[in-house]
Structure 1
Amino acid sequence: MGIDGGTELKTLRPEEFDRWWDHLARAFGGGPAPLEERELDRSLTEFDRSLAVWDADAIVGTSGAFSFRMTVPGGAVVPTAGVTMVSVSATHRRRGVLTAMMRRLLDDARAKGEPLAALFASEPAIYGRFGYGSATFQLHAEIDTGRVSLALPEGTDEVRVRYASPTEALAECEAVYAALVPRRPGMLARQPGWERAALLDPESGREGASALQCVVAERDGRVTGYARFCTKLGWGPSGHDGTVTLKDLAGLDPASEAALWRFLFGIDLMTTLAVRGRPVDEAWQHQVSDLRRCVPRTRDGGYVRLVEVGAALSARTYQAPVDVVFEVEDAFCPWNTGRWRLTGDSKGASCERTSDPADLALSVRELGAAYLGGVTLLSLAAAGRVRELRPGSLTEASVAFGSPVTPWVSHGF
């Protein structure tokens, strides 16, 4: 496929991977990357879904997609194109390279029958014009464990926490993760090989911290949760001043989760627990004695795009009955443009084309933002991005689109 300026878009071949990956690394700052990370990326790359833009014999653009399945409200796990590895050479800006790659990736997702696409944005301003909406958020915190205590739920003392080898406990941890996938919108069913990403721990990337550590929670001899973390010992004028950095935590029930947090709060010689990329509705925020000393903050997480409006809106359920006609604008994927009638409730839904008068007018970007239930149509309307054409329809649709559990994309890609 030719692009303006003589560049050409091609499917990546396995023997081109190192050049492709080197270009990507340079585009993201050019720092040295561990060999372990490169080899993991090589093993996970779907070459038939990976793209390189060439200018003569030089790669000037990269992108690709993973064949994921994402949980949507109601618990269904829906085929989703996980858009990834996107870069354009600084020498080839504003020449249509990115647009050509986005066009090809969405066309391929549609051909594969994937109603959704998702990505993490290195620069959030880029992807709105391609129809992606900011749909999930992440919680970060720096918890002063020397001054903050936890009030724990009933049953916490019945949970045993023990150290385990991250590798030897992997299968048990993955069973916990798999059980949680249907419970929260945005979670990704783990594809074969992706379990190894959670164990990536190159020594060159530790910055003085320990190797990856793991504990598992057990109840009645069964693993009911796990936490992966590292520790870094520090000393200040008042003595020990170490930091625990949480990498991953999951529990099948509130008591198991609480037991894991209590363990992390109580590690000897550590005074700070650094939390990154967690769900914004985690219970520990209501268990701590002083939330201010946890310094919680949020940032954007996963971006969602409806590849096929009808199939995507039919795939999820709705927490209240809804019957609404959307006037959808989608300049980049024009097959979505037009009126769609959504009818549904907590048991199922249908979304079909219609000639009936529209109740709400919006672009596919707003549908992507609201799709998982973490962003309300009411808030988007207040921002001027959704127009109500039938009085009352906005509230009706906004309530229906909500989720009782905050959506969260469970790992990067």
Structure 2
Amino acid sequence: MTTDLRVLRQTEWNVWYDNLIRAFGGVPESSEEREMFDALTDYDRSLGFWDGDQCVGTAGAFVFRLTVPGGASVPTAGVTMVSVAATHRRRGVLTAMMRRQLDDIRSWGEPLAALTASEPEIYGRFGYGIGTLQLNAEIDTARVKLSVPPGTDDVCLRYAAPADVLDACEAVYARVVPTRPGMLARQPGWERIGTLDPETERHGASPLQCVVAERDGEVVGYARYRVTPGWSPSGHDGTISLEDLEGVDVPVHGALWRFLFGLDLTTKVRTRGRPLDEGWQHMVSDIRRCNLRVKDSLHLRLVDVGAALEARTYQAPVDVVFEVEDAFCPWNEGRWRLTGDAKGAVCVRTEEAADLALSVRELGSAYLGGTSLTSLAGAGLVRELRQGALVEASVGFGSAVAPWLPHGF
């Protein structure tokens, strides 16, 4: 048989998507999920690897805009639906798709590529670094108390059907997007991800529930969650699974978290995929009983080093020359001089002596400000060639708030 790597044809989508589902275990998705991802798939940005008439590899790239330090919204390829059939492992299928995809992303003029990884070890060799982390927690609300900030009592909450308040919730989300690196400006169709509620995903929990927060008649926040009822010999033991929570300011967050802590017949709040620095951690009486766990989230790659470093701002002045290694995308290799501050930046090629040496993977990890170059240097991944350059660059690349990816793709 002959192999063929090509752009996906619309008539091939079902076969292509079935191969993806099989690669992830073969459990069928709900018709609601499948229909949504069919509608979101951009065929011109999706690749299929074919062995004769068999689809043995898949890869796609959504059109996204990613918030970077300074608040700019930067064109980003959302790499997704990557799979290789188990019958075709170690034959170069994945490498061929990654090669073609990054060449395409460069040609589209998108300086960043981002993904969430089912297996984190896979993508480092293609230049992706871990750009954001996420916080998971299981809070014992029977024993942990919450102290809310001033202004919380000015916020009113009401129940609403998730679909009925979708537009209002999306307006809140849009207000928050520029305030935190790593957030995605939602493109048309992506608003549905917050209200997907297939019964197969509930695992004994209630249908998706929603409360909206209002102040002076305006919706300023929301929480979406499920409740799993439970009873023990001691009484009620229900669990709240928080799916999504956003608010425009601190009192709104206080009101929403107080609501979750106080729901009748529950003793636990489980969260997943929350920001590392979320304020509720400083409202609780006992952080140990919140069972915190950190996990990798967004993996980020600089497709165009110069354009990417110019797209963000820097919280302290930087003037540093990077010696960049990038064997997979050799157009990035060499020396780049970055000069920038909180107002903007310029990054150009240079023949000047390098101050720091690193690979594009480390730049991806540090880009959103969640991982310091100093920390990477502590692992031997960044080398300081000019004394003082490491601290200067580390401070400049930092972010006042932790970068965070609000949802997967």
Name the residue aligned to 1:223. 219
Shift of 1:373: 0.2
Shift of 1:114: 0.4
User: 152, 156, 159: which is aligned to 2:152?
Assistant: 156
User: In 1, Cα distance between the equivalents of 2:31 and 2:5?
Assistant: 27
Name the residue aligned to 2:252. 256
Q: How does 1:5-404 map to 2 (within 5 A)?
A: 6-404=2-400
User: In 1, Cα distance between the equivalents of 2:101 and 2:262?
Assistant: 47
Unaligned runs of 5+ in 2: none
Shift of 1:208: 1.4
User: In 2, Cα distance between the equivalents of 1:395 and 1:220?
Assistant: 46
User: In 1, Cα distance between the equivalents of 2:28 and 2:60?
Assistant: 22
User: In 1, Cα distance between the equivalents of 2:198 and 2:10?
Assistant: 24
User: In 1, Cα distance between the equivalents of 2:201 and 2:296?
Assistant: 24
Q: Deviations over 1:92-113 (max 9, x none)?
A: 1111110111111111111111
TM-score computed with the length of structure 2 as normaliser? 0.99
Shift of 1:16: 1.1
The DSSP-based 3-state class of the residue aligned with 2:264 is: coil
User: In 1, Cα distance between the equivalents of 2:291 and 2:76?
Assistant: 34
The DSSP-based 3-state class of the residue aligned with 1:261 is: helix
The DSSP-based 3-state class of the residue aligned with 1:165 is: coil
User: In 1, Cα distance between the equivalents of 2:271 and 2:341?
Assistant: 36
Code of the aligned partner of 1:170: L
User: In 2, Cα distance between the equivalents of 1:205 and 1:118?
Assistant: 25
User: In 1, Cα distance between the equivalents of 2:245 and 2:37?
Assistant: 23
User: In 2, Cα distance between the equivalents of 1:290 and 1:68?
Assistant: 38
User: In 2, Cα distance between the equivalents of 1:407 and 1:126?
Assistant: 22
User: In 2, Cα distance between the equivalents of 1:104 and 1:205?
Assistant: 34
TM-score computed with the length of structure 1 as normaliser? 0.98
Q: CA RMSD in A?
A: 0.8
Code of the aligned partner of 1:200: L
User: In 1, Cα distance between the equivalents of 2:299 and 2:61?
Assistant: 14
Code of the aligned partner of 1:281: D
User: In 1, Cα distance between the equivalents of 2:221 and 2:145?
Assistant: 21
The DSSP-based 3-state class of the residue aligned with 1:245 is: strand
The DSSP-based 3-state class of the residue aligned with 2:172 is: helix
Q: Deviations over 1:30-54 (max 9, x none)?
A: 1132111111110111111011100
Q: Deviations over 1:286-314 (max 9, x none)?
A: 00011111101101010000000000000
Aligned length: 409
Q: Deviations over 1:311-350 (max 9, x none)?
A: 0000000000000000001000000000000000000000
User: In 2, Cα distance between the equivalents of 1:92 and 1:204?
Assistant: 30
User: In 1, Cα distance between the equivalents of 2:288 and 2:200?
Assistant: 34
Unaligned runs of 5+ in 1: none
Code of the aligned partner of 1:45: T
Shift of 1:205: 2.1
Q: Does 1:408 align with 2:401?
A: no
User: In 2, Cα distance between the equivalents of 1:252 and 1:216?
Assistant: 12
Code of the aligned partner of 1:181: V
Code of the aligned partner of 2:368: L
Code of the aligned partner of 2:278: E
User: In 1, Cα distance between the equivalents of 2:104 and 2:223?
Assistant: 37
Fraction of identical pairs, as percent: 69
Deviates more, 1:190-199 or 1:27-36: 27-36
User: In 2, Cα distance between the equivalents of 1:251 and 1:75?
Assistant: 18
Code of the aligned partner of 1:154: P
User: In 2, Cα distance between the equivalents of 1:27 and 1:103?
Assistant: 21
Code of the aligned partner of 1:69: R
Q: Which runs of 4+ in 1 moved over 3 A?
A: none
User: In 1, Cα distance between the equivalents of 2:255 and 2:341?
Assistant: 36
User: In 2, Cα distance between the equivalents of 1:351 and 1:282?
Assistant: 33
The DSSP-based 3-state class of the residue aligned with 1:379 is: helix
Q: Deviations over 1:342-377 (max 9, x none)?
A: 000000000000000000000000000000000000
User: In 1, Cα distance between the equivalents of 2:139 and 2:386?
Assistant: 47
User: In 1, Cα distance between the equivalents of 2:177 and 2:337?
Assistant: 29
Q: Deviations over 1:71-100 (max 9, x none)?
A: 000000000000000000111111111011
